[in-house]
Structure 1
Amino acid sequence: MAAMKYFTIPPSADLARYVRFFWVLEHDLADSEPYFHRTMADGCAEMVFHFKGVFDEILRSNETERSFRSGIHGQSRSFRRFVIGQDFGIMGVYLYPYAIPALFGISAAELSNQMPDLTTFLGREGAELEERVMLAGDHARRVGIISDFLRKCIRSRDVHEPAVFSVIGSVIRSNGLARIPDLAAQSFLSTRQFERKFLAFSGFSPKLFSRIIRFHSALNEYGNKEKSLTEIAYECGYYDQSHFIHDFKAFSGEHPKTYFSGEAEGMGYRDV
């Protein structure tokens, strides 16, 4: 196989509240073997632009259907599988969960486990954005076009930041280990109000969101040959290895042993 390229690009300072980073994944298929890609459960949504090639999604029935050229991958509690038989290039915009209500004016919960194409999600503006990104000559221009679009979204909405924004940030920074009652107290809301607001701005209940963020802290240990699975499980806050394996399989479709061995499907970019 030809070399795969994966890299991230930081957002400009004025977008850093909403955008965690931009990412690019490119691959030239040197042979006729198709490339399989897998997305895993994620507490954050992302905008995705396929500027070269379009994937087919492999459904649970093992049938395939054409995926979008560009769209929004909402925060998700499970994995999806995709396949392509040609060279491809993807740019992603990895967002904080509360960016969905702040930038687009809808509850994050409406996007949970959804993958609408950009035109369905944003109408004519979405179609125009897709066309401009596809015609851009390089990654810097793509980032510039998307950044200008997001700035326009911010200007067109009176974005106020409720306390729950910083609470969601706290969960992410603590790798899902922050205590929910402490977070509710921090936001000066009753537990019920807190859970309702958290769902609207993150797309998930505080408990499920924390589990997914904790799972991601384990994913990020990929390549760390110094630690055993048991050590990774305990350091990431799992009570025991069986809880770790259960969550890992539910959120990725893989056993952690397969993932950390480097044999998991669609994880080639982790080695880049």
Structure 2
Amino acid sequence: MLTDHPGWTDSGVRVVRTSDGPRIVSAVTLPLQSWDGTAGLMVDVYDPVNLGEGVPERLRKVLYGRGPVARLRNPDLWDALATAIIRQVIRAGQARLMYQRFSAAFGESVTRDGNRLRAFPAPETVLAVSDAEYARLGMAFKRRPLRAAAEAFLDLGDKWASLPPTDLVTQVQSVHRIGPWTAGAAVADHTGDFSRYPCGDLAVRTCAAQAAPGLAWPDSEPEFAARWKRCTTTPRELSTLTVLTLALGGRRAQEYAPD
């Protein structure tokens, strides 16, 4: 189970916002390839057997060696958008700390099996947080984009939820400070379709280079993204390649599983 979302804790649990309210889930007990219609939880499995010969052999060998990766779709589009905004510009570790700190300060509390966590704050709460509180949490530079996204989501969230991924990527970019990178990352998180993910992202480039250091990947983001897409022939294959590569540098639930 890939635990890349900043809501995952070091003990491998996370609060997800569902239609039934916030719920704590565990990375080591989520069933694979499952759909929980009541809670709206979906776990996708990305298998290297779905990679074609266009993927460089050196990289494909590494991905085969690591095996399939499961990932929980983010059931809440608002959380996915807010998470992508928090991730803008900063490193993954800093984004994780910021997300969890903001949730602890203003999110709705939920308890299960002795675990007490907080969900990411609702859009209404994000709008009500004072400038001083954003500054106190070291999030002053996230204040305006989060508020703009919250206002837009309260107005358009129901409409966005009905859109296919391609249209959703376009529509959310109408919000101030949401560009192609943020839109693609949010939609990938929410739908599980990582063919929408900004595959020229530094994380993808770094993991690809470390996995197969002998390959001459382009240095620039646009050129890398174009080459990356040419390695695959279908959106499903592109999604699989991107998730498996990100997982090389990401955290997996095996790290948290008991001996």
Specify which structure has the higher proportion of helix: 2
Q: Which has the higher contact order (CA 8 A, sep 6+)?
A: 2
Tell me, yes or no, whether TM beats 0.5: no
TM-score, normalisation: structure 2: 0.31
Specify which structure has the higher proportion of strand: 1
TM-score, normalisation: structure 1: 0.30
